[in-house]
Amino acid sequence: MHSQIIVIKHPLIQHKLTLMRKAETSTVKFRVLLKEISLLLAYEITRDLPVKYEEIETPLAPMKAPMLAPEKKLVIVSIQRAGQGILDGMLELMPSARVGHIGLYREPKTLIPVEYYFKVPQDIDKRDVLVVDPMLATGNSAVAAVERLKSTNPMSIKFICILAAPEGLEHFTEVHPDVPIYTTAIDDYLDENGYIIPGLGDAGDRLFGTR
Ligand code: URA
């Protein structure tokens, strides 16, 4: 597999993903599971964040203790609307991260993404970006979102999803070979409507109960 694709196979994540896939899982449960998986993903993805040592006093003794390096600043960019589910979980673990939003919808016939909203922090050029969207299907939205973000010159970009299709991965890695992709599973294929099979259905609909 392409070295820029990282599949996080932690058993807790895989268990929660299976529950999310089940057709009978309610909107309430789906939302909670997506939040929990996202928190665990954030934990894995931030493994390499640099730390700096600070002099502190415990109740018993002074020591040099690690703290996150202040110059490492993150921005989580959510691709609307399903990205919101991942964003909520990640913010719970990293409450001081800044947030950006990209609004893209898939034109139903062509599946081509159309941008309707773009708002990111002004100092994004001094930040590392985590782009989040639960489903990497055709890859069209992810490719367009990352292309747009690259024009703002962030320090780095990582793409984070829950499920990916081989077709989407191929498309994304071809256009953005410099952007690592984190996912929890790679499924079999895309159907003629652009849904990931076996997948979990429409992530936005399941998250917001719109169907
Ligand atoms: N978007 C979804 O929500 N689900 C899919 O299977 C593909 C794209």
- How far apart (Å, rounded) are the C-alpha atoms in residues 189 and 204? 19
110 is catalytic: yes
**pLDDT of 106 higher than 80:** no
What is the tens place of the pLDDT at every residue in 119-170? 999 999 999 999 999 999 999 999 999 999 999 999 999 999 999 999 999 9
Residue nearest to atom 2 of ligand 1 (CA): 202
- Pocket probe for ligand 1: among 30, 200, 210, the residue whose CB has the most ligand atoms within 8 Å is 200
- Pocket probe for ligand 1: among 163, 192, 202, the residue whose CB has the most ligand atoms within 8 Å is 202
Per the structure, the count of domains in the chain is 1
Q: Is residue 68 part of a domain?
A: no
Q: Is residue 59 part of a domain?
A: no
What's the pLDDT at 49?
A: 92
At 114, is the pLDDT very low, low, confident or very high (cuts 50, 70, 90)? Answer: confident
Question: Considering the entire predicted model, what is its pTM?
Answer: 0.94
Q: Answer for the pair 209, 27: CB distance below 8 angstroms, yes or no.
A: yes
What's the pLDDT at 41?
A: 95
Residue nearest to atom 7 of ligand 1 (CA): 195
Q: Is residue 56 part of a domain?
A: no
At 21, is the pLDDT very low, low, confident or very high (cuts 50, 70, 90)? Answer: very high
Extended beta strands in 125-207, E state? 128-132, 135-136, 156-160, 163-164, 181-183, 185-186, 189-190, 196-197
Q: What is the CATH number of the domain that holds 182?
A: 3.40.50.2020
Give the residue numbers spanning the domain of 175. Answer: 5-48+73-208
- For the CA of 203, the nearest atom of ligand 1: 3
Q: Is residue 54 part of a domain?
A: no
- For the CA of 82, the nearest atom of ligand 1: 3
What is the tens place of the pLDDT at every residue in 27-84? 999 999 999 999 999 999 999 999 999 999 999 999 999 999 888 899 999 999 899 9
